[in-house]
Amino acid sequence: PKINHATVNAICGAVGECAALVFTYPIDTLKVRCQTQGVGAVATLRSMLGHGPRHAFNSLYSGVVPAALMAMAMGATYLSIFGAVQSFSQKAVDRIQNKRVAAESAGHAGSEWRESSTVASGAAAAASSVIIACLELPMEMVRLRMQAGTVNCSFWQHLRIACEDLGRSGGLMTYLAPCLIKEVPQDAAEFGTYSALTRAWDSFMPGKSDSSPGADWIIAAGAGMAAALVSTPADVLKTRMTCQSNAALHTGTFGCFRNYACAANSVYQERGLLGFYSGLGPRLIKVPSTVVYWVSLEATRRLLQRVCEIEGDQETGSHTKQ
């Protein structure tokens, strides 16, 4: 079968995002409980198990099915946007650096995250994060509240309520600002690091780099650790704000910054500077989610390249300097 470039990105993004979410959903739930309750991971897990294994399982996987479906849709959309923005960003970087990309050596279609520069990948990831955050915000609110144990109705019922609350209270900016403050540097660090490490590996193993799936695990782990360290403080504040009721938050354009300052002050008063890294343990343990995402994504790309004819795919790809 013949498929186009955009379809490759969409399929890879959907598979990678869904696999990563399902694999590490319990760890993410544990992280959310730690950040909202201000206690350690061991104490949180002990509290869940105190009500029985079945209750603990249901708590750890609360909302996983609709979240996985939404993750597939958002993953496909994200990587599709990333591919378009990356192409534009790479051309701009090449112009600035006086490079010319040979049109006949465009490389493998659907592998922009491997072949683009660190700057282009980081810029494309940041731009994609802004767009996706606007689409994903209501679903992210519901997922976090279900994981925190503050939702008593179904995912879809609360999604409707969340959308109504956002529109009625002007809460879009209230929740969007902290989300962007976390997601933009996280994705830029992850994609930029992945691109840099991949290009380094390509230089070390020319001609064989794309046939070494084992390297994907190491590169993805490095990207995940960089993203976690950069974004954990913002993630703590975003989680605190998201799990508060609308009545407790200031609205309006500048209200989000007041909410952010109040959340930061609250965290500092409770635990000092270390409070901004609450849940860092679960977040670093969650690095395998990044590994699962990239390994699944790369495996899907290689499979599609084997079984499908991809428009624009070439056997080799290189940048010709001038």
- 99 DSSP 8-state letter: E
Q: Is 108 exposed, middle or buried (0-12, 13-18, 19+ CB in 10 A)?
A: buried
Q: Are strands 99-100 and 320-321 parallel, antiparallel or unpaired?
A: antiparallel
* pLDDT category of residue 319 using cuts at 50, 70 and 90: very low
pLDDT over 80 (residue 77): yes
Q: How far apart are CA 114 and CA 118, in angstroms?
A: 10
The answer, as to whether pTM is greater than 0.85, is: no
Q: Are strands 2-3 and 309-310 parallel, antiparallel or unpaired?
A: parallel
Q: How far apart are CA 83 and CA 47, in angstroms?
A: 44
**231-250 pLDDT, tens digit each:** 888 888 777 766 665 545 55
- The residue among 81, 59, 82, 78 whose CA lies nearest residue 70 is 78
**133-182 pLDDT, tens digit each:** 777 777 777 777 777 766 666 767 777 776 666 665 555 555 666 667 77
Q: How far apart are CA 158 and CA 142, in angstroms?
A: 6
Q: How far is CA 204 from CA 68, 79, 114, 215, 258, in A?
A: 37, 27, 14, 12, 49
Residue 16 has what pLDDT?
A: 93
Q: How far apart are CA 232 and CA 286, in angstroms?
A: 12
**190-232 pLDDT, tens digit each:** 888 888 888 888 788 776 556 567 788 889 999 999 888 888 8
With beta carbons less than 8 A apart as the criterion, state whether 192 and 122 touch.
Answer: yes
